[in-house]
Amino acid sequence: MLQGITRTGAYEWEVPIGFVPGMRVPGKFFLSESLGASLEAGAIQQLANVATLPGILNYSLAMPDIHWGYGFPIGGVAAFDRTEGVISPGGVGFDINCGVRLLTTPLAVKDVAGRRDLVDALYNAVPTGVGAKSAMKVSAQGLDGMLMKGARFAVEAGYGLPRDIERCEENGCMKMADIKPVSQKARQRGIPQGGTLGSGNHFLELQAVREIYDQDAARAFGLMQDQICCMIHCGSRGLGHQVCTDHIKLLEAATKKYQIRLPDRQLACAPIQSPEGKAYFGAMAASANYAWANRQMITHTTREVLRRMFGIGYDDMPLVYDVAHNVAKMEEHLIGGKRVAVCVHRKGATRSFGPDCPDLPHDLAAIGQPVIIPGSMGTPSFVLKGTAVAMEKTFGSTCHGAGRVMSRTQAKKKISGREIAVDLARRGIYVRAPNEAAISDEAPDVYKPSAEVVRVVHDVGISQMVARLEPLGVIKG
C-alpha cells in the first residue's frame, strides 16, 4: 500500500489531512489486500485533491473499484454542505447519469440455449457504436420531454410500462432539471441519439441468474434461479458530454470569481447556491433525465425483440431497477446526529439506500434499494441491496462496477479480439461488436475481478449480495 496511508479496518484505509496541501477532511477508501496491488498513486492523489474543496463533509470517499480518472477518481463519493459547499462537473464526469438497469424475463436458460439469433436480433435492433443514429425520431419538443420528464417521457410516448418509472432511482426524473442552461450544441447532439447505446464500456447483455444469496430480497426484486435477464449499461450520450464540456468552461471562470483555490483544473467548481452552480446542476439534472429516457427507449426495443421472438407478453418483462453511477444529487444525510442537506457527488459509484429510506418503491421499503453492479464481458454481474451501514459510512453509496486495471494499449497487445471472442464462445458467451478492437478493449481481464470488488462492499456492509448473474450474450458498441 502507498506511503502515508493508514489502515483503519479490515478493508478501510485513511488518507490523512496533509497528504496534499489544503485538505479540509481526510480521505477514506475501501479495498482488500489483493485489490490494493493494482491501486494507482494517481487515484489517491485525486481522492486527496477532492478533500480540498470547500464545504466537503466527513470524508472524501472512494469505493473498492477506485481508479485513476480526471478531477475526482473513478469510484469517488463526496458530500458537500448545501449552503457552504461547491458543485463540480469533475465529480460527475462527461457521461452524466451513465447507469445500468436490469430487466427480467419469464424465460429460463433452457429456452435461450444456443439461440445466437436472439443476440443477433438485439444487436440489429439497438443502435450501437460510433455514428449510430436512432430509429426513434425525437423532435425538438420530444427532446424537451426527455430533459424535463426523463423515463416518464419515454413511457408516455409508448416506450414502457408505468411501473418502470417506479423502478428507477429518483423515479427516473430529477425534478430540479432546467433546460435553459442546456446549450444548443448539446441539444443538437441529443436529438439524433435518443435510444442509442454508444460505445466503450457500454453494453447490452443477456444474462442468467446463476446464484441467489438472499432469497427474500431476490423474491422482492423478481429474481429466480436460472432466469434470463437483460442488463443495459449506457448514459446521456453526446448531450451529456456537451453539457459537461460547456459547464467546465463556465465553472472555470466561476472558480476565479469566487476565489476558490484548486489543485487540478478539472475540479472547476462553483458554490452550490451561486448562479453558475445552479445552472450546472439544472443542466446536469436535465442530462440525467435524458439518460433515463434513453435507457427506457432501449428497454422498449429489447422487450419488442423478446416479445417477437418468444411470444412473451410485454408486461411479463418487469424492470428490477435502474441506477445512476455518474451524478450529483440533493439528499439529506445524518451527520453528527443531525439531518443535513447535502449535495452528494457520485463519480463511478452507485446509490445504495437502505431500508425505509425515501425514494424507495413501497414494496421494497423493508428490503432496501436494488443495487446493480455490472461485470465486464466474461465476468459475472451482481444484484445487491442497499443498507443502513451505507447510510452511516458512505452517504448511501457503494461501488459501480469492477474498475479497470489494464490500459487499452496493453489489452490490445496482450490478446486479440478474435481470440477473446473464441474463448468466450467456448464458455457459452456470444459477443456481437462492430469490430475486434471493441472486444479486446473491454476484455474480461482488463478489469478488477467483479466478484472481489463485490465481496469487499458486502463485507464492509455498504451493500449486500442478493444474486449473481452470468452473461450468455453481449452486445458492445
Nearest to 317 by CA among 100, 156, 106: 106
Residue list 365-404, contact with other proteins (CB under 8 A): 404
Select from 3, 139, 141, 409 the one that contacts other proteins (CB under 8 A): 409
Query: Closer CB to other proteins, residue 175 or residue 265?
Result: 265
Q: Considering the rule CB under 8 A, would residue 69 count as an interface residue with other proteins?
A: yes
Select from 438, 456, 460, 467 the one that contacts other proteins (CB under 8 A): 438
Longest pairwise C-alpha distance within the chain: 63
Decide if 458 is catalytic.
no
Q: Considering the rule CB under 8 A, would residue 65 count as an interface residue with other proteins?
A: no
Select from 410, 418, 425, 427 the one that contacts other proteins (CB under 8 A): 410
Q: Considering the rule CB under 8 A, would residue 104 count as an interface residue with other proteins?
A: no
Q: Return the number of other C-beta atoms located less than 10 Å from residue 407's C-beta.
A: 11
Select from 36, 108, 188, 309 the one that contacts other proteins (CB under 8 A): 188
Compute the least distance from the CB of residue 267 to other proteins, in Å: 9
Within a 13 Å sphere around the CA of 422, how many CA atoms are in the beta-carbon half? 5
Q: Return the number of other C-beta atoms located less than 10 Å from residue 245's C-beta.
A: 14
Q: Considering the rule CB under 8 A, would residue 318 count as an interface residue with other proteins?
A: no
Between CA 47 and CA 339 the distance in angstroms is: 25
Contact 347, 66 (CB under 8 A): no
3-class DSSP state of 120: helix
Between CA 94 and CA 240 the distance in angstroms is: 6
Residue list 260-299, contact with other proteins (CB under 8 A): 264-266, 268
Query: Closer CB to other proteins, residue 179 or residue 437?
Result: 437
Between CA 66 and CA 89 the distance in angstroms is: 18
Select from 24, 185, 210, 307 the one that contacts other proteins (CB under 8 A): 185
Q: Which stretch binds other proteins (CB under 8 A): 138-146, 244-252, 284-292, 311-319?
A: 244-252
Q: Considering the rule CB under 8 A, would residue 437 count as an interface residue with other proteins?
A: yes
Compute the least distance from the CB of residue 248 to other proteins, in Å: 8
In one letter, which amino acid is 388? A
Within a 13 Å sphere around the CA of 393, how many CA atoms are in the beta-carbon half? 23
Between CA 131 and CA 199 the distance in angstroms is: 10
Cβ within 8 Å of residue 339, ≥6 positions away: 332, 333
In one letter, which amino acid is 282? G
Q: Which of 202, 325, 345, 400 is catalytic?
A: 400
Q: How far is CA 453 from the centre of its chain?
A: 15
Compute the least distance from the CB of residue 247 to other proteins, in Å: 11
- Please give the positions annotated as active site: 400
Query: Which residues contact other proteins by CB under 8 A?
Result: 40, 46, 67-71, 74, 90, 93-95, 129-131, 185, 188-189, 198-200, 238, 241-242, 244-245, 248-249, 264-266, 268, 404-410, 433-435, 437-438, 441, 477
